[in-house]
Amino acid sequence: MRSSDFPLADDGGGRRTRLAGLLRAIDLRAVAVVLAIFLTTRLLLLLVIFLSSAAIPMPSGTFGYAISDNIVLDGLIRHDSWWYVGIIEHGYTIGDVQTGVQGTVTFFPLYPLLVKGVAALTGNIFVAGVVVSQVAFLAALGFLYGLARREFDDETAARAVFYLAAAPSTIFCAAMYTESLFIALVCATFYFSGRRMWEWAAAAGALAAATRNTGVLLAAVIALEGLSQQGLRLRPERMLGATAAATARLWRDHMGRQVRVVFASWPSLLAACYVPIGLVAYMAFLSLTFGDPLGFIHAQASWGRSTGAGSILNILTNIKTNLNLGDNIWVGQINTLTLLNLLATLGFAPLVLLAVIKLRPAYGIYAALTFYAPLSTGSIGSMARYVLMLIPCFLLLAVWGRRSWVDRLVLGVFLPLTTYFAIMFSHWYFVG
């Protein structure tokens, strides 16, 4: 697949930037496909949680149980869910490495704010958290379908949606976690940018930046999409002329055209400037509350993550240590969590590289930076969850899934792991 497989968006005379144009683009067939995939995969997860929770005892220990009379809903309230509950009920904490108190400022505010708002209607924080996650994930699938269908076709769009909905760690999109909301905003930013709906793209990007720290990367997505649509090219079609003077003239003319392209791209560049507002607003809150606008970075240390420049150089050493390989791997002498994160990292690394090579710059750069960001801490911890954000990689898989053997391979790997992650997560085992 070449970069041209992602055709440039047509502004339709500028009218596609209107909300009415967006609503007219929605058709019942697309809605039916997205709803069918959403309901099928969510029901599968809920069934797995119900059957495993009813048949397999929970591990011994002190755990919080959110909904004691409903093992299905309770199975979606685990681990980080309780940190969000703490933020909603008691506010943020900055953390302290010396005392071992973990800072909740590492969790960005949009998701807990939405849950708090919905909880005012439902009267239950846990139900509100699950509702927000489900609605956000349904929106994510809808935007992904629209994005993939515009770039490719209906069948590819359906595969992209199903691959994301059936991804091994999709349990985090059903649980009281922020993943579903962030993925929805990422897909929305790509979707609106492709249609030159810059004001909507800016809003989605700014909200994403208030949901996760990597949301600020969507500023590059918006800017690069606008530049690509105007025809920005790093080099001319012919790099050398017949003479040195002809070569200089060729490059001078090329650079002149690119400068005009940049000026013509001002709507997207302006929209990109709005994306950091979500991050800046959170930094202002941290400055006023704790006197540390970078508290969300500094508090990483209280979670055992380092953000120093040399951190990524330690990644191989950390992997070797955390794998904890014993003398006989076949009797289970290995850290399975680290193994799963390693497999996710190695599995998506070539997809990220191919996204950089084959897709438009906005897709490739977003995938590369989103993939690199967690690895820059020197750890592959939670990579099985973080790869859910690599939307360009799921688009590539959907394109290759046109081949039946690729489709069977993807589903053959994804579905068993989806079941495994759901069982482990609902039974209080940390899987990301």
Of 324, 339, 329, 427, the C-alpha closest to 383 is 339
13 pLDDT more than 70: no
pLDDT at 385: 95
409 within 8 A of 389, measured Cβ to Cβ: no
Model confidence band, residue 3 (pLDDT cutoffs 50, 70, 90): very low
CA dihedral for 54, 385, 135, 158, sign (positive or negative):
negative
Q: Average pLDDT for residues 406-428, to the nearest whole number?
A: 96
| Domain residue spans of the chain | 3-230+265-426
Q: What is the pTM of this model?
A: 0.89
393 within 8 A of 367, measured Cβ to Cβ: yes
pLDDT at 265: 77
Question: 293-337: per-residue pLDDT in tens?
Answer: 998 888 887 776 665 555 677 888 888 888 888 777 788 888 999
CA distance 406 to 166: 15
Radius of gyration of the chain (CA): 23
